[in-house]
Amino acid sequence: MMEITEENDISRIARSFGNAAEAYHQEAEIQKKVADGLISSLLPWRELLPSGPILEVGCGTGFLTRQLIEHFPDKEFLITDASPKMVEFCKSELEKEGLISDKIQFQVLDADEFDEGDTNYAMVVSNFAPHWFKDTSVSLENLSQSIQPGGLLLCSFPGNHSFEQWYEHCLELGLPYTSNPLPDVEEVVVKLSMGPMQIDYYENDLFQEFESSIDFFRHLKRIGASENVKGNALTSKQFRLLVDHWDQKCNNKLKIKWHVVYLAAKKDYA
């Protein structure tokens, strides 16, 4: 199995998630639900994967990792994340559950710097991480090159129809919309389809309730997901205007929409 060199210059996004690992593990309920959904979508493939190791990109605290190991007890794994602290947290959680073996390796990996080399994975899987790649389509296509024929690329990510309320309230107030740009699923599918991949995907809206808009933004910060990839931010005055307006528009609890994309791409045989 190939070795991946650890990056010394960890991005502020990876650092933010790493510092929030404990809170993420407790509070990232949408990410956990999506991991469960990704496992469900994998079940039909369980007996069809070719031989070879599995690479997980963006393991986080291990929501998906534990289930992967339980579903594929005979497979070798390379478990990775861009954050060293997340990798260590995930490893610690697996150790608590007695799931560590000599078949499982852990590495720090920035997917944007991934070099497929001569690897031959049976599956590359990534739960709720591809939207943090610099270019989701390019990085997924690059990852897919490391998969052997008959193997699978399986991933999930929030699509660009997430957080529509946030966008609409910014539009009404004439404020900058400072959410990170999220992938357009059609663009991702088209680019992946240009290679030797058979693509299947489905979309699902999940909703998360909060007492107020400020609770939503605090939640993102607590779990490490508030870093803006372009460094965009509202002024204090603009932010207060947004949360006051948003709360006035809601009679009850806020319902935040996550537009979730599940994507499976099987590599064709030559």
pLDDT tens digits, residue range 91-107?
999 999 999 999 999 99
Q: What does the pLDDT read at residue 118?
A: 65
Query: Using CA atoms, how far apart are residues 47 and 186, in angstroms rounded to an integer?
Result: 29
Please report where in the chains the tokens 């990792």 appear, as a residue.
65
- What is the per-residue pLDDT for 270? 64
Residue 91 CB partners (closer than 8 Å, separation 6+): 79, 100, 106
- Is residue 101 assigned to a domain? yes
Residue 78 lies in a domain: yes
Write down the residue that tokens 């990775």 correspond to.
80
Q: Does 174 fall in a domain? A: no
* Torsion angle, alpha carbons of 87, 92, 98, 103, to 10: 30
Number of domains forming the structure of the chain: 1
For 161-193, the DSSP string reads: TTTHHHHHHHHHHT----SPP---HHHHHHHHH
Q: Give per-residue pLDDT as tens, 135-156.
A: 999 999 999 999 999 999 999 9
Asked if residue 216 is part of any domain, the answer here is no
Mean pLDDT of 41-62: 91
Cα separation, 209 vs 216, whole angstroms:
8
**CATH number where 51 lies:** 3.40.50.150
How are strands ordered across the β-sheet holding 54-57? 104-108, 77-81, 54-57, 121-127, 147-158, 254-267, 197-210
What's the mean pLDDT in 181-209?
94
What's the pTM value of the predicted model, to 2 decimals?
0.93
Q: Considering the domain boundaries, does residue 233 fall inside one?
A: no
- pLDDT value at residue 269: 80
Give the pLDDT confidence of 29-40 residue by residue, as tens digits. Answer: 999 999 999 999
For the beta carbon of residue 222, count every other beta carbon within 10 angstroms: 16
Residue 67 within any structural domain of the chain: yes
Domain of residue 79 covers: 12-162+181-207+258-267
Q: Tally the C-alpha atoms within 13 A of residue 154's C-alpha that lie toward its C-beta.
A: 26
Q: Is residue 237 part of a domain?
A: no
Average pLDDT over residues 200-209: 96
H or E segment and range at residue 87: helix 84-96
Q: For residue 238, tell me if it sits in a domain.
A: no
Say whether 153 sits in a helix, a strand or coil: strand
